[in-house]
């Protein structure tokens, strides 16, 4: 095992703060980055963004690694900088952003880029797409790869030690948050408006909401195709995996078939690794499946209008074999189950930097190399005690405010007293659990030990402390 002591790249204390939005998407990659960071001398605080953000004014100055710098959160960036922190970001959804100018302006703006100290990109293609519409990104943008991809590497390496399942498996990954959102059908549109910020134009929304029109068209067709796959392959294990933002109930109707297993929680990566075929529509999961060497099939109807066809992500298409009807789909699945490798035309090299680098942690190393250029960050605040953290007035106020919003949602839902404006907020905590849920320190410790093994790090030298629910500190033990 590599010992952590004596490997520090930093003299003194530097803090790295990592707020998470969706655990199943971000946690493992950011944990891997955290282990490399503490190996280099950083102290890391990682956890749900609702747990972390209210405490940033009391924590020592450091680097806050945001999962995005969307225009609608420009005030958040300003507050973070006002607390003396550096702002960096690696977009968790940056692998397959929406197409065109609207796709870029949903994730970045001139103002959010100006208020960022460093922005990291998965690969050359993502960077070039942003640079095309916002040239100023060159001032702080760096192509590094993503810790999420590092985790895919680690998982692939760990999976080589496991036996292949005896039964053939098809994973059906759904991606229809517009017509089938967990809260209601308006929620995805509201989320896009919030993320786009107050400066977004009507042309921006007209283009980006074509994604909703596309999903509304394909959603019922995809459900029918999913049922056909299930009924035509009774001896094959079928795993149905709804998108984290989707309502699982419409898909649960298909669980009546004996060969169907619903997967509504946890990460998708281990399921992908044990599957033979991925059936999807316009999903980032297709890129991960391609990296794992899986057969990938998508559905695109023959008569798709050009304005909707232009909303299809070209990388998701290139990673997949396209079926245009149910007969064609069944033929491709049958061939795949018989062992035929379905050939596709995707080059990962420009999509993800160092994707074939033998170092598991290459993206994380790249990011930390860049962060080290900040040098020793001047600190004027001590790290607060557990008592101060757990009884922080701002944290308590934040939780109380959410409770009041939740209460207003139920009141509006039952009485209509607020004209229905807040009724969707009655599900705010239930929806939050689909994104984050509980994170016991025992589960986090298991993840740390598993990743430490792949990284050849002595996990006994990793100190893990719970600060409050959903928030943890990671550092080298003395």
DSSP states of 41-56: TEEEEEEEHHHHGGGT
Return the pLDDT at 478.
65
- Percent above pLDDT 90 for the chain: 76
Rounded mean pLDDT, 264-281? 93
Query: Does residue 179 carry a pLDDT above 70?
Result: yes
Dihedrals φ, ψ of 295, to 5°? -80, 130
Supply the pTM of this predicted model.
Answer: 0.91
Return the pLDDT at 400.
81
Dihedrals φ, ψ of 298, to 5°? -125, 165
Instruction: Give the pLDDT confidence of 299-341 residue by residue, as tens digits.
Output: 999 999 999 999 999 999 999 999 999 999 999 999 999 999 9
Report the DSSP pairing between strands 237-241 and 260-262. Answer: parallel
d(CA 285, CA 139): 31
- Distances, alpha carbon 136 to alpha carbons 116, 327, 439, in Å: 11, 49, 38
d(CA 76, CA 104): 19
Q: Which of 149, 204, 186 is nearest to 356 (CA)?
A: 149
DSSP states of 369-413: HHHGGG-SPP--SPPPPHHHHHT-HHHHHHHHHHHHHHHHHHHHH
Q: Which of 287, 279, 239 is nearest to 260 (CA)?
A: 239
pLDDT band at 68 (very low <50, low <70, confident <90, very high): very high
- Distances, alpha carbon 33 to alpha carbons 149, 205, 221, 222, in Å: 11, 35, 40, 37
Return the pLDDT at 252.
94
Query: Does residue 8 carry a pLDDT above 50?
Result: no
Domains and CATH numbers, the chain: 14-151+354-393+437-476 (3.40.50.2000), 160-337 (3.40.50.2000)
pLDDT band at 382 (very low <50, low <70, confident <90, very high): very high
Query: Does residue 6 carry a pLDDT above 50?
Result: no
Query: Does residue 2 carry a pLDDT above 80?
Result: no
Instruction: Give the pLDDT confidence of 419-473 residue by residue, as tens digits.
Output: 777 777 777 666 666 666 678 899 999 999 999 999 999 999 999 999 999 999 9
């Amino acid at each position: 095992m590599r010992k952590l002591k004596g490997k520090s790249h930093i003299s003194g204390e530097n803090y790295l703060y990592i707020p998470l939005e969706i655990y199943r998407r971000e946690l493992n990659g950011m944990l891997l980055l955290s282990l490399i960071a503490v190996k280099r001398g950083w102290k890391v605080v990682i956890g749900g963004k609702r747990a972390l953000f209210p405490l940033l004014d009391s924590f020592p100055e450091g680097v806050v690694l945001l999962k995005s710098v969307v225009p609608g959160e420009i005030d958040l960036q300003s507050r973070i900088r006002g607390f003396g922190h550096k702002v960096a970001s690696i977009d968790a959804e940056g692998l397959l952003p929406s197409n065109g100018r609207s796709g870029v302006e949903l994730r970045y703006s001139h103002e959010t880029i100006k208020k960022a100290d460093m922005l990291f990109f998965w690969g050359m293609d993502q960077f070039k797409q942003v640079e095309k519409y916002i040239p100023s990104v060159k001032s702080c943008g760096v192509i590094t790869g993503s810790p999420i991809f590092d985790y895919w590497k680690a998982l692939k390496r760990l999976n080589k030690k496991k036996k292949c399942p005896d039964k053939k498996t098809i994973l059906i990954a759904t991606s229809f948050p517009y017509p089938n959102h967990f809260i209601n059908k308006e929620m995805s549109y509201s989320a896009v408006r919030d993320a786009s910020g107050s400066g977004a134009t009507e042309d921006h929304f007209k283009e980006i909401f074509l994604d909703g029109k596309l999903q509304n068209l394909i959603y019922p067709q995809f459900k029918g195709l999913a049922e056909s796959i299930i009924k035509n392959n009774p001896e094959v294990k079928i795993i149905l995996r709804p998108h984290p933002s989707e309502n699982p109930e419409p898909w649960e109707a298909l669980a009546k078939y004996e060969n169907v297993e619903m997967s509504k929680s946890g990460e998708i990566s281990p399921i992908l690794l044990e599957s033979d075929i991925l059936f999807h529509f316009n999903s980032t999961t297709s890129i991960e499946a391609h990296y794992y060497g899986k057969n990938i099939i998508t559905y695109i109807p023959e008569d798709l209008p050009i304005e909707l066809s232009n909303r299809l992500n070209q990388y998701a298409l290139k990673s997949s074999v396209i079926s245009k009807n149910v007969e064609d789909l069944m033929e491709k699945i049958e061939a795949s189950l018989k062992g035929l490798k379905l050939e596709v035309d995707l080059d990962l090299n420009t999509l993800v930097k160092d994707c074939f680098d033998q170092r598991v942690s290459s993206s994380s190393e790249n990011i930390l190399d860049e962060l080290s250029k900040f040098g020793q960050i001047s600190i004027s605040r001590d790290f607060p005690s557990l008592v101060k953290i757990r009884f922080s007035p701002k944290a308590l106020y934040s939780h109380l405010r959410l409770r009041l919003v939740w209460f207003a949602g139920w009141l509006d839902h039952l009485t209509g007293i607020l004209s229905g404006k807040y009724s969707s907020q009655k599900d705010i905590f239930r929806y939050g659990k689909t994104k984050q849920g509980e994170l016991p320190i025992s589960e986090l410790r298991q993840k740390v030990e598993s990743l430490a093994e792949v990284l050849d790090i002595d996990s006994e030298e990793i100190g893990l402390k719970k600060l409050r629910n959903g928030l943890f500190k990671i550092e080298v033990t003395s």
